[in-house]
Amino acid sequence: MTQHTGEPREDRRSQTAPDPELEDVLIFSGSAHVDLAQEIADYLDIGLAPTTIRKFSNDNYYIQLGTSVRAKQVFIVQPLSPPCSDNLMELLLMLDIARSGAAKDVSAVIPYYSYARSDKKDAPRISIAARLVADLLETSGATQVITMTLHSAQAHGFFGVPTDHLTAHSVFVEHLRKKDLSNSVVVAPDIGHAKRAAKLAKAIELPMAAGEKTRLSDNNVAITGVMGNVDDKDIILVDDEIATAGTITQMVNYLKEHHGTRKVTVVGTHGLFTGPAVSRLNAVDVIDEIIVTNTVPRPEDHKPDRLIELSVARIFGEVIRRNVQGESVGSLFEFWPTNK
C-alpha cells in the first residue's frame, strides 16, 4: 500500500504571512501520526512536505521524501507507538534519506519514545533498548532529537546528540485551572513519578501525595498504601503513560476502598490504552475524566469513556520555531522549573 502524506489542508492554516526565517524548514511525517505532524506544520504556517511510503512483497520498506532536502532544516515527526518496530524502521530510513540528501540538519521529532521503559539492565541477558535505539537514531543521521515525557528521565542521557525533553505540563495546567479544585489532591501512582506530580501540584496550588506500588507483571501491580492525606478528597491521578491501565485502575480502586474517594481525574501524557485498558477504565465509576494528549494516534476502539484529548502540536511547533531561530527552549523542558 502506498501512503502519501502532506496533502494541503488550507482550512486549518492561519492567514498570517509565513515567517521568513522558516523558509528553509521542511516537516515530514512517517505513517504513525500524520494528523499531529499536520497540526505542527499548521502551527508554523508551513506545508507538510510529501512522503511516499509502501512495502515491497518481501515486507521491506520503500520510502521516498517528495521534495529536495539539500541545505534544508528537516524535522521528521514519528512517535514510536504501536506497531513501534515498524514505526521505528520508517523513522530510521527517513533520517538516512535526509542525511544522504545533504540536509543541513535532521531532527527526529518523537512525541512518544516507547523504548524509554528499557532504561536499565534489571534482568540477566537483556538489552538496554533505550540506549540502543538512541544510538541507532544518531547512526541513521539524526543531528537532534525532540521528544516528550520520557518514562524514565535518565533515558535523556542516552542520546549522543542534542535532545529536547519536553513536557505537556502547560496544556494540563490550562485545562485543570478551569475546574473546581477546592477539594483536590494531586497523586502520583508511585515515588518514581512524584517529581512530575509535584510540578503539576505546585502549578495549580494543590497538595500532593504518592502511592506505594509493587509491580507484579507487565500489566499487573499491587498498591500497598498512600503517603499523604487523601481521605475524602477529589483525586488528580498523574502518570506519564497509560498502556494497559493496570496501575491506574488498581490505584483508583484502592483510593475508593480505603480512603472514600468519589471522584478521580486521570492525567497522562501518553494514552495508548492497549490490551484490557478500555474495559478496565470503563468499569471504574469514580473516574470523572481521563485527560491525555495527542502524542500517539488512537483508533476508536482504543478510546475509553470520559476521554479528553489535548493537543501538544503548539508545544512541538514552538520548539521547532525556537530551534530554527536560535532561541532558548528550556522553559518547555520536562524537569525545568516553571512559574505558576
Instruction: Tell me how far apart the alpha carbons of residues 88 and 90 are, in angstroms, rounded to a whole number.
Output: 5
- Looking at the fold, whether 204 and 81 belong to one and the same domain comes out as no
- Looking at the fold, whether 26 and 160 belong to one and the same domain comes out as yes
Q: Point out the residues that are catalytic.
A: 213
Domain count, the chain: 2
- Looking at the fold, whether 134 and 215 belong to one and the same domain comes out as no
Q: How confident is the model at residue 21 (pLDDT cuts 50, 70, 90)?
A: confident
Contacts of 111 (CB under 8 A, 6+ apart): 33, 36, 77, 79, 147, 148, 295, 296, 312, 316
- Looking at the fold, whether 301 and 321 belong to one and the same domain comes out as no
What pLDDT was estimated at residue 218? 58
Q: Look over the chain and give the mean of its residue pLDDT values, rounded to a whole number.
A: 91
| Chain Cα centroid distance, residue 145 | 13
Q: Does residue 83 have a cis bond before it (omega within 30 degrees)? A: yes
Q: How confident is the model at residue 10 (pLDDT cuts 50, 70, 90)?
A: very low
User: What CATH number is attached to the domain comprising 37?
Assistant: 3.40.50.2020
What pLDDT was estimated at residue 251? 93
Instruction: Tell me how far apart the alpha carbons of residues 92 and 114 are, in angstroms, rounded to a whole number.
Output: 15
Predicted confidence (pLDDT) per residue in 135-153, tens digit: 999 999 999 999 999 998 8
Say if 203 falls within a structural domain. yes
Say if 337 falls within a structural domain. no
What pLDDT was estimated at residue 122? 82
SS3 call for 45: coil
What pLDDT was estimated at residue 19? 77
Say if 339 falls within a structural domain. no
- Looking at the fold, whether 87 and 193 belong to one and the same domain comes out as no
Helices and strands (H and E) in the chain: how many: 8, 15
SS3 call for 16: coil
- Looking at the fold, whether 18 and 143 belong to one and the same domain comes out as yes
pTM over 0.85: yes
Is residue 51 within 8 Å of residue 5, measured between CB atoms? yes
Give the three cell numbers for residue 255. Answer: 483510593
- Looking at the fold, whether 80 and 193 belong to one and the same domain comes out as no
Query: What share of the chain in percent tops pLDDT 70?
Result: 91
Pairing of strands 51-55, 61-65: antiparallel
DSSP 48: B
Of 232, 226, 217, 166, residue with least CA distance to 191: 226
Contacts of 48 (CB under 8 A, 6+ apart): 5, 6, 7, 27, 28, 29, 34, 37, 38, 41
Say if 340 falls within a structural domain. no
pLDDT surpasses 60 at 110: yes
Instruction: Tell me how far apart the alpha carbons of residues 309 and 306 are, in angstroms, rounded to a whole number.
Output: 10
Say if 80 falls within a structural domain. yes
Range of the domain at 268: 170-310
Element (H, E) at 44: helix 34-44
- Looking at the fold, whether 158 and 30 belong to one and the same domain comes out as yes
Higher pLDDT, 58 or 335: 58
Binning the chain into helix, strand and coil, the percentages to the nearest 5 are 35, 25, 40
What pLDDT was estimated at residue 234? 97
- Looking at the fold, whether 25 and 134 belong to one and the same domain comes out as yes
Least confident of 107-111, 112-116, 146-150, 217-221: 217-221
Say if 87 falls within a structural domain. yes
pLDDT surpasses 50 at 32: yes
Say if 159 falls within a structural domain. yes
Predicted confidence (pLDDT) per residue in 265-320, tens digit: 999 999 999 999 999 999 999 999 999 999 999 999 999 999 999 999 999 999 99
Say if 338 falls within a structural domain. no
- Looking at the fold, whether 136 and 197 belong to one and the same domain comes out as no
Instruction: Tell me how far apart the alpha carbons of residues 335 and 106 are, in angstroms, rounded to a whole number.
Output: 25
- Looking at the fold, whether 155 and 20 belong to one and the same domain comes out as yes
- Looking at the fold, whether 10 and 92 belong to one and the same domain comes out as yes
Q: How confident is the model at residue 18 (pLDDT cuts 50, 70, 90)?
A: low
